[in-house]
């Protein structure tokens, strides 16, 4: 790769940390914020073709729906790109292609360090990396759609997250192994039992006037049933409910109308700080009790004998842990109410259970 002649955007490490805090849905917060930052840089040169904001439904639909068989899932899980990803990532970090968009962080010492980059798949010069990535993509998505972009960020020194995507589909890799893939799904492709499970939970969340229910996409993971992502548009905001296929287990709820809406307070820093400080001041035992009660009501999930701690890099998030069970996160408000509960599906994948 050749070094880019164009200046790359630099952000401070505090901005990167704030990108995490201000994202109200825990899943892929950094990845999503990076995509939006990088695509905003492209806007002056070309119209961005794909933005995955929470609550916005993909307009595209497909005729077929992928469901991984156990044999296929196990085969794909063994496909590691680490020996191809690391050389590509290190080269892109050191010498970004002139067609790549990049972000840097500036530490307290003033030194600028690579943070993330996005490049068109067709512009990647490392042919070995391209062919191996294409191979995995074709295994998961045999519909024939092409990869458009590859996004990469370094979350620890020499440890890289890679995402391959197009307008409709995406695959995420950590340490060379895929762990998450997403694709559109039509309403008629979702079993009635999954819809009923989502509707049942929606009616428990609060007194909201329901708009049209929609299914935004389906999530695939190795050795797991797919998960349907439902969106309920209400007069007060969107409510997101994830339901696992076949088991109909509720795996995630994000009720934005119940949150403090911190993302809307960019012009009112005093109000933002006030809500943050009130949230930080809530005692762990108090909010734990509320989260245990809410998890039982919303998800029939018993967290009573889980260990609990506050997440270090967020002021409003609890992590529940228990040996042999996946972690559960709960996000709360300055009023001490819960608006998001999520089971860590990646840990379910690693344990090979549904």
Cβ neighbours of 332 (radius 10 Å): 26
What CA–CA distance (Å, rounded) separates 26 from 35?
16
The predicted pLDDT at position 164 comes to 95
Instruction: Give the whole-number percent of the chain exceeding pLDDT 90.
Output: 45
What DSSP state is assigned to residue 103? E
For 123-142, what is each residue's pLDDT tens digit?
Answer: 998 899 999 999 999 989 98
CA distances from 79 to 68, 76, 205 (A): 15, 5, 40
The predicted pLDDT at position 267 comes to 80
For 269-320, what is each residue's pLDDT tens digit?
Answer: 899 899 999 999 999 999 999 999 999 999 999 999 999 999 888 899 999 9
Question: Where do the H-state alpha helices sit in 108-191?
Answer: 127-140
Residues 6+ apart with CB under 8 A from 267: none
Mean pLDDT of 170-180: 89
| Tokens encoding 52 | 């995955």
Given a cut of 80, whether residue 209 has pLDDT beyond it is no
Is the CB of residue 128 less than 8 Å from the CB of residue 119?
A: no
The predicted pLDDT at position 5 comes to 36
When mean pLDDT is compared across 77-81, 175-179, 317-321, the lowest value belongs to 77-81
Instruction: Give the whole-number percent of the chain exceeding pLDDT 70.
Output: 75
| Tokens encoding 312 | 């270090």
Residue 329's Cβ-side half-sphere holds a number of Cα atoms within 13 Å equal to 20
The predicted pLDDT at position 210 comes to 65
Nearest to 315 by CA among 272, 266, 345: 272
What CA–CA distance (Å, rounded) separates 319 from 310?
6
Across the chain, the runs of DSSP E, i.e. the strands, are: 9-12, 101-106, 112-120, 149-156, 159-165, 170-174, 177-183, 210-220, 227-234, 237-244, 250-255, 307-310, 317-322, 325-332, 338-343
The predicted pLDDT at position 22 comes to 43
Q: How many distinct helices (H) and strands (E) make up the chain?
A: 9, 15
Could you tell me how far CA 199 lies from the centroid of its own chain?
23
Is the CB of residue 319 less than 8 Å from the CB of residue 327?
A: yes
Per-residue confidence at 32, pLDDT binned at 50, 70, 90?
low
Per-residue confidence at 76, pLDDT binned at 50, 70, 90?
low
């Amino acid at each position: 790769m050749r070094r880019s002649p164009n200046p790359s955007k630099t952000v401070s490490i505090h901005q990167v940390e704030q990108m995490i805090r201000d994202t109200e849905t825990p899943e892929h917060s950094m990845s999503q914020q990076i995509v939006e930052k990088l695509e905003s840089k492209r806007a002056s040169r070309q119209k961005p073709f794909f933005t995955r904001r929470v609550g916005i439904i993909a307009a595209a639909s497909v005729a077929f729906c992928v469901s991984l068989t156990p044999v296929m899932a196990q085969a794909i899980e063994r496909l590691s790109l680490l020996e191809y990803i690391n050389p590509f990532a290190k080269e892109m970090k050191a010498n970004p292609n002139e067609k790549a968009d990049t972000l840097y962080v500036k530490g307290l010492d003033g030194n600028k360090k690579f943070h993330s980059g996005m490049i068109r798949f067709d512009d990647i010069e490392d042919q070995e990396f391209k062919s191996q990535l294409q191979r995995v993509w074709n295994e998961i998505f045999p519909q024939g759609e092409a990869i458009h972009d590859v996004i990469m960020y370094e979350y620890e020194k020499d440890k890289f997250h890679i995402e391959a995507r197009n307008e409709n589909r995406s695959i995420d890799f950590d340490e060379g192994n895929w762990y998450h893939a997403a694709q559109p799904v039509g309403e008629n492709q979702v079993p009635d039992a999954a819809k009923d499970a989502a509707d049942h939970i929606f009616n428990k969340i609060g007194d909201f006037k329901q708009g049209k229910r929609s299914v935004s996409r389906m999530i695939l993971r190795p050795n797991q049933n797919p998960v349907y992502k439902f969106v309920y548009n209400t007069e007060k905001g969107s409510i997101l409910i994830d339901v696992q296929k076949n088991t109909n287990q509720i795996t995630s709820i994000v009720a934005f109308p119940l949150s403090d809406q911190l993302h809307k307070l960019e012009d009112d820093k005093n109000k933002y700080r006030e809500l943050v400080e009130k949230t930080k001041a809530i005692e762990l035992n108090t909010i734990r009790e509320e989260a245990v009660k809410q998890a039982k009501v919303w998800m029939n999930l018993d967290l009573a004998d889980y260990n609990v701690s506050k997440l270090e890099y967020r002021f409003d998030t609890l992590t529940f842990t228990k040996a042999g069970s996946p972690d559960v996160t709960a996000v709360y408000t300055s009023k001490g109410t819960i608006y998001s509960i999520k089971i860590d599906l990646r840990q379910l994948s690693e344990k090979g259970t549904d």
